[in-house]
Amino acid sequence: MPYDHLFSPLSAPGLELPHRIALAPLTRNRAVGTVPAEINAEYYGQRATAAITISEGSSPAGVGHGYLDIAGVHTDEQQAGWKHVADRVHAEGGRLWVQLMHCGRVAHPRFTDGVTPVAPSSVLAQGEVWTPEGQTPFVVPRAFETDELEGLKQDYVQAAERIVAAGGDGIELHAANGYLLHQFLGTNTNTRTDGYGTDAAGRVRFVVEVAKATAEAIGAEKVGIRISPEHPFNDMQDEGWEETYDLLLRELAPIGLAYLHVLEPAPDEALPKTRFARERWTGTLIGNRGFGEAYDYARADELIADGTLDLIAVGRDFLANPDLPERLKQGAELNTPDEDTFYSRGPEGYTDYPTLAQSQA
């Protein structure tokens, strides 16, 4: 069999997995009105042969929405929608982990019922966001007051509890790609002087608190975290990233999280961020090429064989190939992802990519 290591099972705390190929979190803007529905259950059910079916970034708070029709995890209706999705993924034999993505400063009043976005500091992100009315600049966020941070932490805790109540298998804290938790870690986005900024110890503090609080609430083996050191997406800067992420990983390690998920922002053969993480993380490590070239699966197989990674998360190839593991196992051709429908509406480019069997029929 090709890719022997990609297709070896994994047994780790919180993770009993048949192979090593996870679905990467993918925003698809198809949760109409922020509530997952049948079309979303169908999409995730189609991708339930992933080792872990990680969901689209989903907001733990109303003020955390930064895109049209991304799912939320803060109302009873959304929770019921996630139950529908979890039930479908389980019926197909899979495991659903929901990514909690609070957009922070890159949220937009168009998607927050007019509420001004909140962030670690009042620093405008350069760039624009798509709205139904056209491209619109980001807005200047309001900085959280220190006494609001407990409430923000509770937003994550309650969202995690909602996912477990909905039958979800776990949550992934999105601390990557310039969203709220990354904004606490970043040097350009965090100018706080209240103990939650200033230096590496201050910048990692809130992220560690959220990881601890969610782990205490639902069990550490149900919580994963995604990071992207030095990823410039969403106008981020991580100056002196080694110091920040060294401390972050040392403080996260004792919590016993299910996994660490690392995006390698400018992937090259050396994989410096992935290796940096591996040296500091004895638990399960998921790698992803972070908007770079799609995975070379033979290379991924080697990285699992030599212990650099435990799993890979695959975005675009999985988006276009609902049965990606089966196709890789058979050495079959892959469907090509259609970028025009990544963030569009309805089933086209969402639930209508054929499986191998359907293509052959």
Ligand X SMILES: Cc1cc2nc3c(=O)[nH]c(=O)nc-3n(C[C@H](O)[C@H](O)[C@H](O)COP(=O)(O)O)c2cc1C
Provide the H-helix boundaries in 170-240: 180-185, 200-218
Report yes or no: 233 and 189 within 8 Å, Cβ to Cβ.
Answer: no
Residue 65 within binding range of ligand X, rule CB under 6 A: no
Least Cβ distance, residue 174 to ligand X (angstroms): 5
How many residues form the binding site for ligand X (CB under 6 A)? 24
HSE at residue 268, side-chain half, CA atoms within 13 A, is 3
Other Cβ atoms less than 10 A from the Cβ of 243: the count is 15
Least Cβ distance, residue 316 to ligand X (angstroms): 4
Q: How far apart are CA 234 and CA 248, in angstroms?
A: 21
In the chain, the DSSP E strands lie at 10-12, 15-17, 21-23, 53-58, 96-100, 118-119, 128-131, 134-137, 142-143, 170-175, 223-227, 259-263, 284-288, 311-314
Subset of residues 141 to 170 that bind ligand X, contact rule: CB under 6 A: none
Residue 341 within binding range of ligand X, rule CB under 6 A: no
Eight-state DSSP code of residue 66: -
Least Cβ distance, residue 230 to ligand X (angstroms): 14
Least Cβ distance, residue 125 to ligand X (angstroms): 16
Q: How far apart are CA 116 and CA 109, in angstroms?
A: 6
Burial class (CB in 10 A: 0-12, 13-18, 19+), 332: middle
Nearer to ligand X, 91 or 294 (CB): 294
Stretch that binds ligand X, among 39-47, 73-81, 171-179, 300-308 (CB under 6 A): 171-179
Least Cβ distance, residue 265 to ligand X (angstroms): 10
Residue type, 5: H
**Which one of residues 19, 30, 95, 226 is an interface residue with ligand X (CB under 6 A)?**
226
First to last CA, the chain: 24
Residue 212 within binding range of ligand X, rule CB under 6 A: no
Nearer to ligand X, 67 or 241 (CB): 67
Least Cβ distance, residue 158 to ligand X (angstroms): 20
Q: Which residues contact 194 (CB under 8 A, 6 or more apart)?
A: 146
Stretch that binds ligand X, among 108-116, 235-243, 275-283, 286-294 (CB under 6 A): 286-294
Q: How far apart are CA 50 and CA 312, in angstroms?
A: 10
Subset of residues 81 to 100 that bind ligand X, contact rule: CB under 6 A: 99
Percentages helix, strand, coil for the chain (3-state, rounded to 5) are 40, 15, 45
Tokens coding 337? 């992802």
- 179 as an active site residue: the answer is yes
Residue 64 within binding range of ligand X, rule CB under 6 A: no
Residue 327 within binding range of ligand X, rule CB under 6 A: no
Tokens coding 9? 């099972």
**Which one of residues 74, 316, 321, 351 is an interface residue with ligand X (CB under 6 A)?**
316
Annotated catalytic residue, options 3, 156, 179, 196: 179
Residue 222 within binding range of ligand X, rule CB under 6 A: no
**Which one of residues 34, 49, 121, 177 is an interface residue with ligand X (CB under 6 A)?**
177
**Which one of residues 288, 321, 335, 355 is an interface residue with ligand X (CB under 6 A)?**
288
Nearer to ligand X, 79 or 234 (CB): 234
Residue 265 within binding range of ligand X, rule CB under 6 A: no
Residues known to be catalytic: 179
Q: Which residues bind ligand X (CB under 6 A)?
A: 24-27, 56-57, 99, 101, 174, 176-177, 226, 263, 288-291, 294-295, 314-317, 342
